[in-house]
Structure 1
Amino acid sequence: MSAEGPMPANDQPPSRPKVIKTNQQQVVLYVVLTLILSLVTVWSGRTLLRNSETLTFAVGDANSDQARFAAKLADVLKNNTSRFRLKIVNNPDNAKALAQFDRKQADLAIVRTDNKVPSRARTLAILEHDLVLLLGPGNKKIKSLAELKKKKVAVVAESDSSLAFVRTMLDAPEGSEAAAKIQMAPQGMPLDKLFSPGGYGAVIAIVHASRAVRDKAYEQVAKRGGFTLNAIDESKALARKIPGIYDETLTAGTLSASPEIPDDDLETIGLEWLLVTQSRMSLTSAGELARIIYENKSELGLDNGFATRIEPASVDKDAYVMAHQGAADYINDDTKSFMDKYSDMMYLGAGALSVIGSIFAAIYAKVTRIAPERAGQLSTAILDIGERIEHAHSLDELECLQEELEGILRGAIVGLRDGSISTDGLDTFKLGYEFVRDEIGMRRDYLKRHAGDVERRHAGDGDKRQVDGDKATLPNDDTNVVVVKTAQSA
């Protein structure tokens, strides 16, 4: 009678790779969630910042060039989804607007360089140039400004502030006889009527450079021989004498192409219109505002020509009005424009990514992560095999235990490789494996040495059971003796 051991059960699919897959899925999920939440945080922060700053823009009356430019700038900021919003405050005139700016009640204003410039004003952009045109009637030449002190002079300009500028330029103090001869021309009066008999001996027109190029009135009057454009030879001396005045050069044909006026390059003087802000404005805000103005200057020009040739602020140290440092940084290095635009968002994104990533990492490590099985825990299964060795009475049973032990070893090696089993308790595992392996070897040697005794013992046990069974079946039958003897002889 052979004692065959139980056949090994079918190997179950390993469960640890599922653990690894689950952990990997968790890592991917947390990475995706970190990126999504960081983007949401940055987007929310950018939206908040965009709507977080309102700038007060002090201007003159609602019909002035300054007020209409402010309205266009407000539209540009809105269309570019800028974080700036403009609050436009109208005043009776631009002088009152500058006074409001000087009291720190406004963040932005427009100033012409012949006006009193507040000490805290810093330039963001040059909006316009004003030209000073010295006109004489007919073909009469005016050789110097000194000649005008004997003439009646009409000042053609948009505001009375230009009258004070002309009197300063001609060195005609307020209240003097020369000052009395310098008068504002009636608004809208044609140039040829100003030169009519008994009229003015000279006209000084202060006009926007962009408007003078477009104005056809000069060409029409010139064709009738109505005026002569004169050079101001003292332009450089005046620019050194009076702050805010600049020497300008009119190229041939600026006012009229036919007839060509001037017929050659001509020296004169000019003024600048500056968009200014408070010196306390942050570098980032000033740089961003300057960038928006420069990049959208084609949309900021007025139909009458004002602000159609916006220029960067002068960054020279001797500029009449210093450029704001934020605007100067942008002007001096265009590569900073990207950082000026997105640096806040980049810092916010980096901070959000770090915080959110740390939170998810802590959750994964402490809560949701399925920890790898410790190698020491496998020692329990090995010792269980060791306890079953002494009950193995055949080599087949012993081979089953050997295969089971080797299966645990293979699983441990695979788990250590893919991370589903940690090295914690690995020495205990090795010690238990070697101990049980040696026990199996010794048990195998024992079974081989006593294989005959085991078979005889098993056979004797079988005969005894058979005899006991026969006696129980035929207790009083004489034929039982024959059966028993036959069983024993067999």
Structure 2
Amino acid sequence: MSAEIPTPRAAKPFTRSRLVKSNRRQMLLFAALTVILTVATVWGSRVWLNSETLVFAVGSANGPEARFAAKLAAMLKNANSRLHLKIVANPDSAKALAQFDRKQADLAILRTDAKVPSRARAVAILERDVVLLVSPAGKKIKSLAELKKRKVALVADADSGGATFIRKLLEVSDDPAFASRLQLAPPVTNFDKLLAPGGYGAVIAIAPVSRLLRDKSIEQQVRRGGLILNDISESKALVRRYPGLTEETLSAGMLSSTPAIPSEDLDTVGLQWLLVAQSRLSTAVAVNLARAIYENKGELALENGFASRIEPASTDKDAFIVAHQGATDYLNDDTKSFVDRYSDLAYLGVAVLGVIGSLFAALYTKVTRIAPEKASALATAILDIGERMEHATSMDALDALQDELETVLRGVVIGLRDGTISKDGLDTFKLGYEFVRDELALRRESLKRHAGHDDNVVIVKTAQSA
């Protein structure tokens, strides 16, 4: 039997692997973008919501307040804190507090003998000033009342208001004669020169504790002149009379250990320098501010010692200036735990993840995803095999068509499994496959009958196949 075998059409390259890899890459890319954008959105929201610029009202630009504010601003910047300071200088401390009182500033520094704004809340004690009562050797002072019989030198920083404070403390306004004997001396004047014979009978000085601990000049003056540091026996009564005052103790050996200066503990009074914030300042911001200050105290000390001994603000409810709730929470370790602090971010993250994930899922499904081929579309290949079957005049041609038909079927089964072929039109494909398969069987029987002898058909097929 000599029949021409038609050349089978070249099978269309199957693109299942390419489709799967392309879609998988897209899914991985969108998943990664979802995570990256979610983290970026949540972090950006956290920074934006928690970032705060605080206005810090200070006195003169060369004063300790302004220099401390500059140190604090630099520390916050170096620590990449979300808090930022805008420093506003004023002619003096009183005008800075007035600005604070008008709610034009969030932070200020005040000494407790100043007029305290009603909305001021303490964040930290930056410095303590103590009152020193010094007299010549052999002329111990037993009470402040004795001062009214002496010529007294007052040593205090000119812009600190110390002179006014001492005059109020000694009730100078009630004794005009004593007022004339109480004279302001330059801050740098040595005690031993002031108390030299023919000079003053006593010196009252207001000195920061940090300066007393660092500056050895007072120790040298006391030792050189044989001066006496006196108790202020009325300290408790004065504290009760003037709420801004605090009881202070000059410990034995505080100025010098050998010889001990003072020789024993001395009671006196003092004032506190407080960093205050507006009561309306949020608790979270105040907590962050308190944390930054207390955990970086070493970076905030000034060259002259101011703020070198930062202390916690009093959290007592009857304190002269009530502590800010944020400072209280930090000092009492009542700040939020890690879970509490970041729970809001977790909820935000879940919401953002859902929105971004939905957007990318819609984008992948509707736009970028390479859609699987419909099973009904492959029915065309089946019917094409059926059309070519009519021209097959040999068993080898039918076998080739049968192999092609099975290849298409195998591809559909695998595609249904890995998703590169959808089930749309599967019934149509199934019907076409069964039709062509049955037609091939009938065509094979027809060729066998026309051959007239089954053995000859087998021989011809074998010869041609060889």
Which amino acid in 2 is paired with 1:377? Answer: A
Deviation per residue, 1:255-281 (Å, 9 max, x gap): 122321123444333321111222233
Partner of 1:267: 267
Determine if the alignment matches structure 1 residue 61 to structure 2 residue 60. yes
Whole-Å separation in 1 of the counterparts to 2:357 and 2:330: 34
1:116 corresponds to: 115
- Asked if the contact 2:68/2:301 (under 8 Å) is kept, the reply is yes
- Give the alignment of 1:65-464 within 5 angstroms: 65-82=64-81, 85-159=84-158, 161-170=161-170, 172=171, 174-177=173-176, 180=179, 181-333=181-333, 358-389=358-389, 391-444=391-444, 447=447, 451-452=451-452
- After TM superposition, give the deviation of residue 48 of structure 1 in Å: 7.7
Which residue identity lines up with residue 287 of structure 1 in the other structure?
V
Cα distance, 1:82 vs structure 2? 4.7
Match of 1:467 in 2: none
In structure 1, the residue corresponding to 2:294 is in which secondary structure? helix
The 1:456–1:417 alpha-carbon spacing in structure 2 relative to 1, beyond 3 Å, is closer
Return closer, same or farther for 1:405/1:179 CA change in 2, 3 Å cut-off. Answer: farther
Distance 1:151 1:125 in 2: 38
Partner secondary structure for residue 402 of structure 2:
helix
Q: 1:6 Cα deviation (Å)?
A: 4.2
State the distance in 2 between where 1:100 and 1:179 align.
Answer: 36
1:436–1:280 distance in 2 versus 1, CA, 3 Å: same
Give the superposition deviation at 1:411.
1.1
- SS of 2:26 mapped into structure 1: helix
Count of aligned positions: 455
- Three-state SS of the structure 2 residue aligned to 1:174 is helix
Contact 1:219–1:259, Cα closer than 8 Å, also in 2: no
Counterpart for residue 465 of structure 1: none
Match of 2:173, SS?
coil
Runs (5+) with no aligned partner, structure 2: 458-466
Deviates more, 1:290-299 or 1:189-198: 290-299
| Residues 325 and 90 of structure 1: CA distance in aligned 2, closer, same or farther (over 3 Å) | same
Find the aligned partners of 1:72 and 1:215 in 2 and give their Cα distance: 22
On the 8 A contact 2:70/2:87 being kept in 1, the answer is yes
Percent of pairs with identical residues: 63
Deviates more, 1:114-123 or 1:216-225: 216-225
Decide whether the 8 Å contact of 2:134 with 2:202 is kept in 1: yes
Aligned AA (1:195): L
Three-state SS of the structure 2 residue aligned to 1:62 is: coil
> How many angstroms does 1:426 deviate by?
3.5
Q: Does the CA-based 8 Å contact 1:291-1:330 persist in structure 2?
A: yes
> 1:472 — aligned with what?
none
Kindly provide the amino acid, as one letter, of the partner of residue 185 in structure 2. A
Q: Is the 8 A contact 1:137 1:202 kept in 2?
A: yes
Confirm or deny: 8 A CA contact 2:153 2:182 kept in the other structure. yes
**CA–CA separation in structure 1 for the residues paired with 2:231 and 2:127:** 21
* 1:330 shift after superposition: 3.9
Deviation of the 1:209 alpha carbon: 0.9
Amino acid at match of 1:370: I
Q: Which one has the largest radius of gyration? A: 1
Sort the Cα spacing of 1:73 and 1:21 in 2 relative to 1 into closer, same or farther, 3 A: same
Q: 1:105 deviation in Å?
A: 2.6
Whole-angstrom distance in 2 between the partners of 1:315 and 1:302? 26
Q: TM-score normalised to the size of structure 1?
A: 0.77
Supply the distance in 1 between the matched residues of 2:330 and 2:60 (Cα, whole angstroms).
Answer: 32
User: Helix, strand or coil: the match of 1:218?
Assistant: helix
SS state at 1:165 partner? helix
**CA 1:371–1:130 in structure 2 vs 1: closer, same or farther (change >3 Å)?**
same
Call closer, same or farther: CA 1:138–1:346 in 2, change over 3 Å.
Answer: farther
C-alpha distance after superposition, 1:82-117 (max 9, x if no partner)? 555544333332122212221223232110112111
1:481 matched to which residue of 2?
none
Q: Conserved in 2, the CA contact under 8 Å of 1:113 and 1:273? A: yes
Contact 1:152 1:182 in 2 (8 A): yes
Query: Cα deviation per residue 1:342-365 (whole Å; 9 max; x = unaligned)?
Result: 999999988876665554443332
DSSP-derived class of the 2:114 partner: coil
Q: Secondary structure at the match of 2:298?
A: helix
Deviation (angstroms), 1:405: 2.1
Cα 1:175–1:252 change in 2 (3 A) is closer
Contact 2:149–2:178, Cα closer than 8 Å, also in 1: no
Unaligned runs of 5+ in 1: 458-490
C-alpha distance in 1 between matches for 2:4 and 2:237: 124
The RMSD of aligned alpha carbons is 4.0
- Measured in 1, the distance between the counterparts of 2:225 and 2:339 equals 57
Shift of 1:138: 1.3
CA distance in 2, matches of 1:165, 1:440: 117
Q: Deviations over 1:441-488 (max 9, x none)?
A: 45545555665279999xxxxxxxxxxxxxxxxxxxxxxxxxxxxxxx
